[in-house]
Amino acid sequence: MLFFQGSSVSKELAFDVGVEDVEPGIGLPDRKPIDIFGFYTGMKGDAVLARIKAMPIAPDESPFIGMAQLQYARDTYLAVANVRTEDKDSRGKLVVLLSSNASGNQLVGIYRDLHFRKGREAGTAGYLGAIEEKYGKSSVTEERGSETELLYGYRDGEKLRADTKADLCNLSLGSAMSALSSGATGRSSGRVFQEVRNNAKHENRCSAMIRIILHHPPTNTGRFNPNSVKSVQISFIDADRAFLAYQRDVAAQKELQERALDAPLPEGTGKPKL
């Protein structure tokens, strides 16, 4: 992905961006988008902003809304957003990543975490039931004492099955999720798209992946209570969509650069002085 934050070009070298939307549901079962806290794959930038405005923003916090611009493009687009939320039950963070306006400015990555207030912790059984009702049975579930991790891997429209997460998808999407969770910056966004490209070339690629981690609270005995959830982290990367969007965005950037090179050079308007 090519970001040019605050790019300034003369009006003579600013052009409209040719838009080619990436088809919805690439690589997902029945080609249906996946919803994460009201944000879904393929969601357009305007709809993402509207959804963010409807969230319970934490007091004294201003959402980071990262606008970007392809070089020589006339218009900017929503590239990333980082939002802190807070309500009576929990506080949390949301990070979203979108493709450029050349590929329809579509949402391709989501990270959401929630930390429940003391006394407001969720029950593990209820949480697992709600997850299964929404996303079905996980591809892999791993218990590690302090946390329960569920992974959903998809390839070419089919949900994958595996014994361990090491067998599910290659490591690229896990790295992409870590970059996304670190926050909405141009550097982390670039790493997400780099890992998406790595995933596309791997024999064990995934079209998309969801990772859900339920963190259990400690007890007075130094162990953890597996029946309660003190916080949850949900990450989603729509890898096939992100890869196709990246290819379109790079092609659009090349088109804009070629138009800028072919544009007539302005003629001076001042009077000659001798």
CA-wise closest residue to 43 among 192, 178, 253, 241 = 241
Would residue 117 count as lying in a domain?
A: yes
Residue 211 structural domain: 11-262
Would residue 34 count as lying in a domain?
A: yes
Would residue 5 count as lying in a domain?
A: no
Would residue 44 count as lying in a domain?
A: yes
Would residue 3 count as lying in a domain?
A: no
**pLDDT at residue number 11:** 56
Q: What are phi and psi of 249, to 5 degrees?
A: -65, -40
What is the C-alpha to C-alpha distance for residues 85 and 165, in angstroms, rounded to an integer?
30
**pLDDT at residue number 185:** 62
Would residue 209 count as lying in a domain?
A: yes
Q: For the segment 134-148, what is each residue's pLDDT rounded down to a tens digit?
A: 999 999 999 998 999
What is the C-alpha to C-alpha distance for residues 201 and 153, in angstroms, rounded to an integer?
17
- The burial of 45, by beta-carbon neighbours within 10 Å (0-12 exposed, 13-18 middle, 19 or more buried), is given as buried
Would residue 270 count as lying in a domain?
A: no
Which residues of the chain are modeled with pLDDT < 50?
1-9
**pLDDT at residue number 6:** 45
**pLDDT at residue number 24:** 67
Report how many domains make up the chain: 1
Would residue 2 count as lying in a domain?
A: no
